[in-house]
Structures are given as structure tokens and as C-alpha cells.
Amino acid sequence: MRLSAWLNVRPEEVRPVTLSFWGAFLVIAFLVLARSLREALYLTTFPVESLPYVTIAVAVLSIPTVGLFVRQLSHHEPRRVLRAVVVGLGVGLAALWPVAARLEAAVVAFYLWTALGTLLLTSGFWVVTADYFPVRGAKRVFGLIATGGTAGAMIMGNSISWLTSRFEMTLLIPGLIILLVLFLLPLSILPKLERAGPDSGAGERSGSAIREGLSLVRRTPHLRTITLIVLCATMASVLVDYQFKELARATLTTKEELASFFGAFYGWTGAISLMIQLLIAGSVLTRAGIAATMAVLPMILLFGSAGLLLIPSLLIGTLVRGADNSLRKSLHRSVLEVLYVPIPSVLRRKTKTFIDSVVDAGAEGLGAVIVFLWVTLPGLPSRYLSIFVMVISAYFIYLSRRMGRRYATTITDQLIEGGVGGPEAVARLDQSLLMSATFTEVDLRSALGRMGAEPVAASAAADAGVEAGADMAVDLLQRLGSSSPVEVGAALAEGTTWTEAHLPVLTRLLARDALRQQAISVLAEMGDGATPYLAAELGDETGDFVIRRRIPRVFAQAGGTDADDALLDALSAGRFEIRYRAASALVSRRRSGVPESERDAEEIIWDTIRREVGRDRPVWELQRLLDDWGAEDDLVARHAEVRGDLSLKHTFRLLSLVLDPDAVRAAYQGITSEDERLLSLALEYLEQALPKDIREQLWPFIGDLTERQRSRAIRSIEVVVEELVETGATLFASAEKREALRRMIEKKDS
């Protein structure tokens, strides 16, 4: 448990993370051994100039192979399909083993079989793994899971030299079969996930599955950008790899030397990948974000290829290819897999293997074509392939920046659509969660009344009616000043011409519960004529609180830019409910399309949000502390819970005024729901959308911090209560409430 806490793995994630870690270890160990064997066998059997032919053959054969694989993923549960791939790959290796070193055709077959098999094996492994983790979980644990792969690469790569010095190379092929058998164990005991039935297109042929994958990628901007990134990364890697192998083949001559060199190379790059994963990847991805993390690999390739162009030596080639190999298996792989997680699982299954296999193999084929047209046919120096790599890397960097924006858009879209549940899930959430879809339908008066945090009754003078002045001789004004609600209501219904002279008495009627709705309607009908008087009343901190908190209801329905200005000013009022209702009125105005303030409303609202998260922090801290304590004191716990929920709702209402309102609404639903995937999407959206200072203030109370991180961020209850009292907050301002809190603290301490 201490290890899982240190690695930031949640208790429910321990089993799938552990099994996925060992699965990645075995998959990459298989990949390293298979690649080292096939390259050593091929390069000692055929000239290096023929390498583009077999690379193109892999690209061509990957199309029907992946088509069949995608079709099976549509038919069956992914783990079952992956098991079939493992068994089939092992059977083929067993058949090739006796003849792999005797026949040239067997060498080619071994190359093609292992290349195609590892395509399906690695892609299928990540398809299965991605279904177990929401996007926030993926960002936390995919680096750890990938560490298993880099450990496999390091251990296997460093073992190949020792193995080839003691065994004939073909005797290592059974080692590949053993790795596949061992991989079946974690694959078989992964927890089973509940899934929907097969897709409607289950009966499609493999060719149509490829066409469907291509069509889905073309229609989906997020997937289209991923595809271009994979194309760039793989093409650049193929060109660098060819330069590296040509330099290695020119220096080393025997099978054993090449196998040992390649094994050591993959072992050392695996070790570097492991260090990157353990020490760098997680923090870079979390702090730098998607775009910056994705740009690391092309930046290294850009400058490394420039060096290789100037100094074409085995040392430089090894360094450039080593950096490429290390980063592709660690940092690049981690961020690439995270990019797939926000995509719905059905779409992911139909497209991920297509991209990982067909697109990746196609990119290898394109790279091989460049090598063929530049080196094989005309016999030009391979050093100039670095120019192609530099151009591709520059475009790769541009795609990384675009992917950062696209990822944020995809998170927002998926959040609005209800995450993995779709629109129906959003409809269910709208019925059950605290915040309504409009951000305005909440009975704040009754909520605050139950907790006693704000006064809810009108003054005795307001209940007794308004005493008409001597100068109010007009019959209508006399009737409006009546103590009889029936008579006043009739006067409000009969009045047709309202002037500034009526404003004082109409405004006072807002304090009378039975008449407030009629008074609001009349004042709203007066429009701009009532705005100056109501704005002054709203901004008067010494005025009648009950009247002030109902004025925003008038401005929500009517008034021009001056009304909008008054509401913006009210966001800094001293009383929470005034600020709360002002924000609600602004939301209503934005939805209705009434005139907005000519001031910089966005800057004002962001400043307001910063004040609110600072002002409400002790409220949220107290709520969290009481939750952790399991406080049962009704007066204390109920006050903190209701006020904390209203504060959080108010903050999100303000955010809806400066961010996408649908996305903010869905984010609030996500953080207050029990749906782990929707919560994960909500937090990922907020991490992308919120300014750093606001995010840091909110995250201890809504974010996915560990309990240790959260406890360090939240102060002691004595400090929190002292701040609440010193700032004059109404939550525990009365002596009765402070005494109740004191008794609860003493009881806890004892």
C-alpha cells in the first residue's frame, strides 16, 4: 500500500496497473528480441540496400492483417482477440524455427511474421489497457505502465549479447515463444470489464474495416492529427534507422557482432527510456502539457539530424537513433497513448489499431520509398536523408502545437456530450445533480434559511407595508402603500403607467414575499427607466438586504448596459447572496441575449473569480475537514456543507460567464457525480481551461490529489475557523454557531 501511494496509484487501480506493467514488460521484451533477431538475420543474408523492399512488404501486408484484426475487435471482446493474436504468433514462430537460418525465404518470412505480429501485439495491448483507465488515470499511470516496457527493453537488450555468445542465434527463437506464453498470464487475469454488444457492422469484411477506419480518421480532427503525428514520427525514425544500420553494417560484419551490437543498443536505449519514464515523463506531461511534451521528440530529431548531416559517423548515428528510440518508447509513447483515452471506446477500437498498424506501417513504407528513390536506385549518399528528417521534424513540431489545441477541444466536446455515456448520460445527470442546466434554478433563500447563514425574513417595517407620504396623493400610490396584500396586488395588476415617482414604493414591495414576483415584473417592464434607482439600491451596502438580493431578478429580465454594469459591480458586494444572485442574473442575461456591458466584463469576472476562490477557501477547507472527521453535529456540519456547495456552485457559475458555458456546466456535473470517467473528463477540461493561480486554489477541493497532497494543502481547523471569524463571514459569525463549533472541536480532541 505504501508503494502504491508513493506511485500515486489508487487502491482500485493496483491490480490492473500491476498486470498492465508486466504485460508491457513482456510485450516490449518480445519486440526487442524479435527485432534484434530479424535484423541480424536479414542484414547478414541480404545487402542493406534491399532493406526498403522488405519494409514496403510489411506496409502492404499490414493492410489486410490489420483489417482482419479490426474486424475481430468489432466482433469480440479485445482481450479475447489479443489472446488469439498471441497464440497465432507463437504457432507461426514454432513453424519457422527449424528453417529460419537455412532458407533465404524463411529469413524473409521470419522478418515479415515478427514485424506484423509485433504491430498487432503492441497495438492490441494498449487497446486493452486504455479501457481500464479514464483520462486522468491514464495520465497518472500510463507512464508507470510504459516503464514496464522500457524495463523489458533494457533487460532483454542487455541480455542478447550474453545469449548470442552462448547459443546459436536460431536457438533464441523459442525464447520469443516463451515470452508470448508468459504474456498470456497477466492478459488472462485482468479484471473483466462490462461492455456493450458488438457493433452493427460486425459482419463487414476486412477491407471494409480498413475503409471504415480511414473514413473515421478523416472525419475526426483529433484522430486526423494523431495520424499525421504518427506518420511524421515513423517516417523520421525509418530514415534515421536506415542511416544508423548502414553505418553499423559498414563497421560490423558477422551475425554475432550485429546481434550483440543491436541488443546492447536496445538495452541501453531501454535503460535511458526507463530513467526518462521514472524521473521525467510524469512531471513533464503534467506540468508542460500535451503540446510541449509531444514536441520533445521532433526537436531532438531536428538538431540531431543536423549534426548527422555535418558529421556522418557511427557515434553520431547511434546517438541520434538512440535518442529517437528512447523517446519514442517513453515520453512519446506515453503522451500518444493519453491522446487516445478521451476518444469513446468503440471509436478507439475501430481506429487505434488502424493508426498504430496500417498508418505506422504505411509511414515505414513511405520512408522506405524515400530510401529506395534516394539511395538504392541512384546510389546517393545516405547522409542527405537528414535533410528529409529535418523537414519532417519541423512539420512534426507544428503538429505538436496543433495537437495541444485539438486535445483541449476534444476533452471539451466529450465532456459536453456526456463523456463515455453520451447525451443520455447528461440528461440523467441533469435530473440528479445539484446544479441545474441553466445555472440559475436554485432556491438559495431556502437553502441559506435552513442553515441560518443569511437572514431570510423581511423587516417588520416592510411587512407592515409602506406608509404613503403626504405628497403621494395619487390613488395608485396610496393603494400600493396599503398593508393589505390583496389591495396592493390589485393595484399592481391595474397600473398601466409607471414613473420614477413609483420606484421607491415598488422597490420596497420586493421585501414582501407575497408581492415580490408582481413587483419584479412591473420593475422589469419599466426597463431602463428603473435601472438607475435599482442600481443605487443594489450597490448600497447599508440598504435593506432582502430588497437588494431580489433586485438581480429584475436585471436578469430587463435593462440595458447600465443594468449589466450594476450586476458586474454587485459581484464584489460584501454579502455572499448578493454576489450569488448577481452572477445568476448575468448568466440569464447572457442566455437571453440582452445588451451587455461595454466594460471589459471578462477581466472583471476573472478578477471576481480570483477573489471568490480566495474568500471561499476556508469554507471549502472546513467542509473537507468535517467530512474527514465524519462530523455528526447538525448545526456545524450542515452549515459547512450547504455553504460550501453554494460557494462551489457560485464559482462555476462565474466560470460559465468567461468559458464555454456548456462545458463548465458539464464539468460541474462531473465533479459532483460518481461517474469516474465523467469526473476524469471534467478535471482534465478544468486543468486545460483554468488559469494556473485559480486552478491551484481550487484543486485541493475538486482535483485528483492524493490524500497526502490534499492534507498538506488544507490547514488546521483552528486556523480555518479563525480566518472565517476574522473576515466577518456569516457562516459562523454568531456566538451560538461559534460555540457549537468549539464544542465539536473539543469533543474531537478529547
CA torsion angle for 30, 33, 34, 37 (degrees, to 10)? -170
Q: What is the largest CA-CA distance in the chain?
A: 118
C-alpha of 519 from chain center: 47
The answer to whether residue 393 scores a pLDDT higher than 90 is yes
Domain borders along the chain are 2-189+203-416, 444-599, 607-749
Residues 6+ apart with CB under 8 A from 484: 465
Q: Which of 665, 127, 195 is nearest to 420 (CA)?
A: 195
Instruction: Report the candidate in 65, 73, 55, 80 with the shortest Cα–Cα distance to residue 207.
Output: 65
- What's the rounded Cα separation, in Å, for the pair 335 and 444? 44
Give CA 227 to chain center in angstroms.
Answer: 20
User: Could you tell me the fold of the domain covering 2-189+203-416?
Assistant: Growth Hormone; Chain: A; (1.20.1250)
Check if CATH label 2.30.30 holds for domain 444-599. no
More confident residue, 306 or 260: 306
Three cell numbers at 290? Answer: 500535451
2-189+203-416 and 444-599: identical CATH topology: no
Q: In this structure, which amino acid lies at residue 708?
A: R
DSSP string, 159-205: HHHHHHTTS-GGGGHHHHHHHHHHHHHHHHHSPPPP-----TTTT--
Dist. CA 586–CA 563, nearest whole Å: 10
Count of Cβ atoms closer than 10 Å to residue 477 Cβ: 20
The set of long-range contacts for 121-124, using a CB threshold of 8 Å and a minimum separation of 24, is 121/27, 121/30, 121/31, 121/82, 121/85, 121/86, 121/89, 122/27, 122/28, 122/31, 122/356, 123/352, 123/353, 123/356, 123/357, 124/69, 124/78, 124/81, 124/82, 124/85, 124/353
Residues in the chain: 750
pLDDT above 70 covers a percentage of the chain that reads 78
Lowest mean pLDDT among 160-164, 263-267, 347-351, 466-470: 466-470
- For the cut 90, the answer to whether the pLDDT of residue 207 exceeds it is no
- The pLDDT assigned to 676 comes to 78
Nearest to 414 by CA among 226, 228, 221: 221
C-alpha pair distances (Å), 317 with each of 15, 242, 274, 391: 41, 10, 21, 18
What pLDDT is stored for residue 36 in this prediction?
86
Model pLDDT, residue 67: 81
The answer on pLDDT for 609 being more than 70 is: yes
pLDDT greater than 60 at residue 81: yes
Question: Is the per-residue pLDDT at 741 higher than 70?
Answer: no
The pLDDT-based confidence of 180 (bands split at 50, 70, 90) is very high
Distance CA 552, CA 344 (A): 41
Pairwise CA distance, residues 169 & 256, whole Å = 8
Q: How far apart are CA 59 and CA 543, in angstroms?
A: 77
Query: What's the pLDDT at 464?
Result: 36
With a CB cutoff of 8 Å and minimum separation 6, the contacts of 660 are 412, 416
Instruction: List, in sequence order, the alpha helices (H) in 593-702.
Output: 601-629, 634-656, 661-671, 676-689, 692-702
pLDDT tens readout for residues 476-504:
677 777 777 888 778 778 766 777 888 88
- Single out the residue of 444, 695, 452 nearest to residue 583, CA to CA: 444
Residue 450's pLDDT is 45
Q: What does the alpha-carbon distance between residue 484 and residue 568 come to, in Å, rounded to a whole number?
A: 36
| Angle, helices 385-416/661-671, rounded to nearest 10 degrees | 70
- DSSP state, residue 597: P
Work out the pLDDT band at 641, boundaries 50, 70, 90: low
Grid cell listed for 370: 524515400
Buried b / exposed e across 27-42, counting CB within 10 Å, b at 16+? bbbbbbbbbbbbbbbb
CA-based nearest residue to 483, from 515, 454, 452, 457: 515
State the pLDDT at residue 113: 94
Number of Cβ atoms within 10 Å of the Cβ of 737: 20
Cα-based angle 599, 600, 606 (whole degrees, multiple of 5): 135
Which of 546, 544, 520, 519 lies closest to 448 in space, CA to CA?
546
Instruction: Determine the Cα–Cα distance for residues 206 and 67; give it in Å rounded to an integer.
Output: 4
Q: Average of pLDDT values for 575-601?
A: 87
Query: How many Å apart are CA 271 and CA 476, to the nearest integer?
Result: 88
Q: What is the pLDDT of residues 280-299, one digit of tens each?
A: 777 787 778 888 999 999 99
Helices first, then strands: H and E counts in the chain: 35, 0
What was the pLDDT predicted at 202?
41
Least reliable range by pLDDT among 278-287, 370-379, 408-417: 278-287
At what angle are helices 51-75 and 221-251 packed, to 10 degrees?
140
Angle CA 540–601–657, to nearest 5: 100
Q: How far apart are the first and last CA of the chain?
A: 30
pLDDT band at 468 (very low <50, low <70, confident <90, very high): very low
Write out pLDDT tens, residues 116-134: 999 889 888 888 887 787 7
